[in-house]
Amino acid sequence: MSGLFKTWKTSSKQEPEAEPAINHPDKIIFPEKGITKNQVIGYYQSVGPLMMQWINGQLLSLVRFPNGLNSPGFFQKNAPANAPKWIKTKRWGIEVKKDYMVADSTHTLEWLAGIGTIEFHILGLRPPDYKKHSLLFFDLDPPASMQFSEVLSFSQLFHEHLQSEGLKTFIKTSGKNGVHLICPVSKKQIAPDFDYAMGITQSFLSKNPGLATTELRKIKRGQRLFIDVYRNHPGQTLVAPLSLRATPTASVSMPLDWSELNTVESPAEFNLSSVLKLLSGKKWKPWKNFGVQ
């Protein structure tokens, strides 16, 4: 990973003009895989340009493990006190205002990875005022007894319902056992909110009884898949596409194409190493036409 930050030298006022120092670049972040901080930064340097196509302008929340997964981590919304001036922030909040970081460049992702960020989460709000959603989130969380192939079959069924409601839908693995559906919503469409997302979901459940639930209490779900539509409440987040997850295997929340679902056997297929190999092929172009209008 020598010369990791050579692309950071730039005359742009929006980006750093000098290479930042990396503290403890050889620190082990993922002990089970022996993955270092330098490798995590290198991962985000590689996938950052693709991520920025999908999350540019989004407010970020972080999951940080500065000392690796063998030490406690934490969820962070406010910009770190030591953040350089070129890290863009936006003061936002419902009741309590926080200085959220803005995903505006790969350099921002790299610097945040350098302070121990593993996961990047987004709020789904429309820049620049962040008053309304531009993305709807549906987190499909299966019971332990459900096979991943069943999760994907359900996702396809729900996808067809969302299409019938006029929503363009993109799928990714959660990086754990479930999948996430993201729907970009244009300014011309109805302003989406939690009630809108819940209404669409309840309409689906009424047509497909017994398959899934929006029940928050696990004891009430039985063996039904949980559709977590509550992530559309203001201030709630979803892990960003291509973000690493804080799992022993350095799993990735992987964007998929609807046409390739039958080729995916397990979400465990996607991790830091396998995703970098996939990207090196230069033929992988998921989530075409994702842009929010």
* DSSP codes of every residue in 154-172: HHHHHHHHHHHTT---EEE
- Non-local (6+) Cβ contacts of 117 within 8 A are 62, 63, 64
For residue 2, pLDDT beyond 50 = no
At the topology level, CATH places domain 6-131+236-280 in DNA primase, PRIM domain (3.90.920)
CA–CA gap between residue 18 and residue 193 (Å, rounded): 41
What pLDDT is recorded for position 189? 75
C-alpha 119/C-alpha 212 separation (Å) is: 28
Token couple for 65: 């493990």
Q: What are the sequence ranges of the domains in the chain?
A: 6-131+236-280, 135-232
Residue 6: pLDDT band (50, 70, 90) is: very low
The pLDDT tens digits for 193-248 are: 899 999 999 999 999 999 999 999 999 999 999 999 999 999 999 999 999 999 99
Tabulate helix, strand, coil % of the chain (nearest 5).
Answer: 30, 20, 50
pLDDT tens-digit series, residues 91-142:
999 889 999 999 999 999 999 999 999 999 999 999 999 999 999 999 999 9
Task: Determine the 3-state secondary structure of 183 from DSSP.
Answer: strand
Q: Does domain 135-232 have CATH number 3.30.70.3300?
A: yes
The reply to whether the predicted model has a pTM over 0.85 is: yes
Residue 251 DSSP label: B
- Report the C-alpha gap between 197 and 230 in whole angstroms: 9
Strands (E), 142-277: 170-173, 179-184, 212-213, 225-228, 238-239, 255-256
